[in-house]
């Protein structure tokens, strides 16, 4: 079997959305499992919508996820522009392949599969508005093209003159009339469409003298020897055109197989997931943070504290499952078990809670060493006076209660800074006259405790409290309040062990002094 070659082909019109990352991921998994190549190609044939920085954003996003292209991007993370052994099909940016497409577009005209059209955008707009007024719609097709300005209707000399004189003309594909195109999709099975419902799509644009997606895409997939096209469902309606193009070029033998992925839907309401949903519902829709030209910041999974492994896992399970009950998969494991047959056909709704759960699962799987490093990266200054062992003990105490590393400080900051104030409702509830007499006795008892370890503290303290009939809850909750300033948190004995005897006694006496 020949080598599998798949591609991810985003257009640089802004930040890559998580749905795009999922498409890239599925392509990557498919390629890696088959021992094939994953290619990145930049489809920048729309000069008007180009957004600076989006190409770099795509590459950085994929890199963060560990979805690294085999072809199209060099070791420095740049799109390859000149062919070499590893990147034989360069350039991988379509704007730099313009000369290639022109030839193929004209080939289609000469074989009668396409024609020059001279209608201006304004003329076509007018026709659309006119049709709209009559509650119908204008379509450039077998029916209407006979009455429009193109090389099919105009005399040959007129066409010659226009091609020579006029700067603007487009090339349109001549969709055959009343034929059934039989297609196959790896996920959806057989699909049939009658060509009479299709329109004569523009293949070559007059406005920026570049091919449209349809032409560039087919030519590049052919030239780059792509074997499977795994892309979003929004392309399904143009699949018949793409089939027809392969046929018109005589490339049917080399036509890739297609797989159309369902779209990611809004968590609530209607429609597909969009940029705005993230801000509205409080979760990121982009892998990495993005700042647009107006300075507006969109959240990114990376900056919001998601681990890339978790993000990849979340994406993989949005529209695919392994068929068993395992939910946590590394990239390597996903490569092993992924299959297009198990991709779900209907759209998947993103769920923020489940995404957080995934991150929590990955957080729990991290070693203390890794978490200490991540914690330091986030809270460097506040932790600088403490060594890794101390921070490690703190992390181990609270890691089970966190979804994200950025929650660590709130969960265990009291181990690094003595409380500045005491939760008023806790004070109100616990700091009563009887306990005021008990706490100094407890402090005195702790002074002589050796070793000052969680188990010893727990056991002895419990004995003391029970013997004196003080009440476990009352004493322990008060101690927690005095030690950390709050009435909730980890076990008191565990907190004491990490703080150490000296600090514990200091905090208790400070608290007594402060609270009176």
Cα-based distances in Å from 270 to 222, 226, 273, 347: 37, 35, 9, 12
Lookup: tokens for 355: 């995404």
Tell me how far apart the alpha carbons of residues 25 and 16 are, in angstroms, rounded to a whole number: 13
Residue appearing with tokens 């100094």: 440
**Closest CB to RNA among residues 3, 455:** 455
Q: ω before 91 within 30° of 0 (cis)?
A: yes
275 counts as catalytic: yes
Lookup: tokens for 199: 């329109």
How many CB atoms are located within 10 Å of the residue 189 CB? 9
**Closest CB to RNA among residues 112, 121:** 121
DSSP assignments along 171-204, one per residue: EEE-PPSS-EEEEEETTTEEEEEEGGG----EEE
Closest CB 75 distance from RNA, rounded Å: 26
**Closest CB to RNA among residues 10, 300:** 10
**Closest CB to RNA among residues 78, 401:** 401
Cα R_g (the chain), whole angstroms: 32
DSSP assignments along 28-68, one per residue: HHHHHHTT-EEEE-B----TTS--TTHHHHHHHHHHHHT--
Closest CB 425 distance from RNA, rounded Å: 11
**Closest CB to RNA among residues 236, 248:** 236
Question: Burial letters for 341-369: b for 16+ Cβ neighbours within 10 Å, e otherwise?
Answer: eebeeebbebeeeebbebbbbbbeebebe
Catalytic residue among 272, 275, 429, 501: 275
CA-based nearest residue to 328, from 365, 369, 286 = 365
CB 215 within 8 A of CB 290: no
How many CB atoms are located within 10 Å of the residue 410 CB? 10
CB 485 within 8 A of CB 413: no
**Closest CB to RNA among residues 4, 266:** 266
Closest CB 381 distance from RNA, rounded Å: 26
CB 49 within 8 A of CB 100: no
* Helix, strand, coil tally for the chain in percent (to 5): 50, 10, 40
Three-class HEC string of 234-259: HHHHHHHHHHHHHHHHCCHHHCCEEE
CB 79 within 8 A of CB 96: no
DSSP assignments along 314-367, one per residue: HHHTSSB--SSS-----HHHHHHH--GGGB-SS-EE--HHHHHHHHHHHHHHS-
Tell me how far apart the alpha carbons of residues 439 and 461 are, in angstroms, rounded to a whole number: 12
**Closest CB to RNA among residues 177, 234:** 234
**Closest CB to RNA among residues 291, 455:** 455
Closest CB 453 distance from RNA, rounded Å: 13
**Closest CB to RNA among residues 228, 494:** 494
CA-based nearest residue to 251, from 272, 276, 230, 224 = 224
Tell me how far apart the alpha carbons of residues 56 and 15 are, in angstroms, rounded to a whole number: 9
Q: Which residues are known to be catalytic?
A: 275
């Amino acid at each position: 079997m020949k080598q599998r070659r798949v591609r991810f082909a985003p257009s640089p019109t802004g930040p890559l959305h998580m749905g795009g990352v999922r498409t890239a991921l599925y392509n990557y998994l498919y390629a890696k499992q088959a021992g094939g190549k994953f290619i990145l190609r930049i489809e920048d044939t729309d000069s008007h919508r180009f957004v600076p920085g989006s190409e770099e954003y795509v590459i950085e996003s994929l890199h963060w996820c560990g979805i690294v292209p085999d072809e199209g991007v060099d070791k420095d993370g740049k799109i390859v522009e000149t062919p070499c052994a590893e990147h034989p099909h360069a350039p991988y940016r379509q704007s730099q392949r313009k000369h290639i497409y022109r030839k193929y577009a004209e080939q289609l005209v000469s074989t009668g599969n396409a024609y020059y059209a001279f209608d201006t955008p304004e003329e076509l707009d007018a026709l659309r508005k006119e049709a709209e007024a009559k509650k119908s719609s204008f379509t450039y097709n077998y029916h209407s093209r006979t009455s429009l300005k193109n090389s099919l209707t105009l005399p040959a000399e007129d066409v010659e003159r226009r091609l020579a004189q006029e700067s603007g003309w487009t090339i349109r594909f001549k969709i055959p009339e009343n034929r059934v195109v039989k297609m196959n999709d790896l996920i959806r099975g057989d699909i049939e469409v009658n060509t009479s419902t299709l329109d004569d799509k523009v293949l070559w644009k007059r406005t920026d003298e570049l091919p449209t997606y349809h032409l560039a895409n087919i030519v590049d997939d052919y030239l780059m020897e792509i074997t499977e096209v795994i892309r979003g469902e929004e392309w399904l309606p143009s699949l018949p055109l793409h089939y027809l193009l392969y046929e018109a070029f005589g490339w049917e033998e080399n036509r890739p197989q297609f797989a159309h992925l369902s779209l990611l839907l809004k968590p609530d309401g209607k429609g597909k997931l969009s940029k705005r949903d993230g801000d509205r519902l409080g979760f990121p829709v982009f892998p990495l943070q993005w700042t647009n030209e107006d300075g507006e910041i969109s959240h990114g999974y990376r900056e919001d504290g998601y681990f890339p492994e978790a993000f990849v896992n979340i994406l993989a399970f949005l529209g695919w499952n392994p068929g068993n009950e395992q939910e946590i998969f590394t990239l390597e494991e996903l490569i092993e078990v992924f299959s297009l047959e198990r991709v779900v056909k209907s759209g998947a709704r993103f769920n923020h809670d489940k995404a957080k759960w995934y991150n929590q699962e990955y957080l729990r799987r991290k070693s203390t060493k890794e978490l200490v490093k991540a914690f330091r990266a986030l809270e460097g200054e506040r932790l600088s006076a403490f060594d890794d062992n101390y921070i490690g003990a703190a992390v181990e105490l609270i890691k089970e209660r966190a979804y994200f590393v950025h929650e660590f400080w709130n969960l265990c900051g009291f181990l690094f800074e003595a409380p500045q104030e005491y939760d008023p409702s806790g004070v109100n509830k616990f700091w009563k006259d009887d306990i005021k007499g008990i706490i100094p006795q407890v402090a005195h008892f702790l002074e002589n405790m050796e070793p000052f370890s969680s188990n010893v503290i727990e056991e002895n303290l419990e004995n003391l409290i029970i013997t004196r009939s003080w009440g476990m809850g009352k004493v322990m909750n008060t101690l927690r309040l005095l030690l950390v300033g709050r009435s909730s948190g980890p076990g008191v004995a565990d907190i004491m062990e990490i703080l150490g005897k000296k600090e514990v006694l200091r905090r208790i006496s400070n608290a007594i002094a402060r609270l009176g």
